[in-house]
Amino acid sequence: MTRRVGLIGWPVDHSQSPAMQTAAFAACGLDWQYTLLPTLPDQLRATLDQVRAGELAGANVTIPHKSAVMPMLDEIDPAAAAIGAVNTIVVRDGRLIGCNTDAIGFARALSEIGVDVNGKQCAVLGAGGAARAVVHTLKELGGRVTIYARDVSRARTLIGGDEQTRALRDVDRVACDTVLIVNATSVGMAPQSDGSPWPDGAVFPAGALAFDLIYNPRRTRWMGQAERSGAQAVNGLAMLIYQGAAAFEMWTGQKAPLEVMFEAARGALQAAAAKGAS
């Protein structure tokens, strides 16, 4: 019998997770299916009831539910509890366990780029579930983090201390010694690709890396702004793959076929770009 997992969120149409997970299941000979589960906030408990009823063998969780889902689960693993957000649900003996693979994915992607944040200044734009995983990872790696968010009080719950939180409108005041700026907002994500959390004309610190968690489109307006300031810019595709691979392994108990997942995600993004251009 086909086993189903899916992505709980709103919106979810932009996601490339179905392409990469379906390819991974096929490569491993697994009769599994990955589906999108568009879920408004007032529908979240009902969607989780589908998992409890055995209709789904697990799920990913995306905006805006990564924190809201936590009290509805039976158990939260220590990493997700420390982060304050869940992006993967695993079913064990009928119990729904909340996990977080975003931190795993971000740490691995950052390691591949070769950025050393130990003792260095980092900036994170946003204070949602993805930002929580990023901040947790950077602090674990010894980074000094300042959060820029629309809701400053919410940002303070992530990191503590008024001196480490700023309003998002003040990103043009990012410290000149900042080595890494992470966009953990959804601003600029398809289909609203013309948006950016960065003010026009604001300069990125020299030598900083701009890491956009958005991967659709592959090159966001924010990345373009960074590159025009002389900064290096990367998108969130590698983080997507690595967090998805960790979830795959939690659900199936098998090693994720990373090359297959990368190829499938790139192909899906190219197809989406071509469709948008037509």
Task: Please give the positions annotated as active site.
Answer: 66
- Regarding beta strands 165-167 and 144-149, do their DSSP bridges make them parallel or antiparallel, or are they unpaired? parallel
Name the DSSP letter for residue 203.
Answer: P
- Regarding beta strands 209-212 and 232-234, do their DSSP bridges make them parallel or antiparallel, or are they unpaired? parallel
Residue 278 neighbours by CB under 8 Å, 6+ apart? none
Contact indicator for 117, 173 with CB cutoff of 8 Å: no
Alpha helices in the chain (DSSP H): 17-27, 44-52, 78-83, 102-113, 129-140, 152-159, 221-228, 237-252, 258-277
Residues 144-168 as b/e (b if ≥16 CB within 10 A, e otherwise) read bbbbbbeebeebbebbeeeeebbeb
Contact indicator for 31, 5 with CB cutoff of 8 Å: no
**Which tokens in the block code for residue 30?**
């697994």
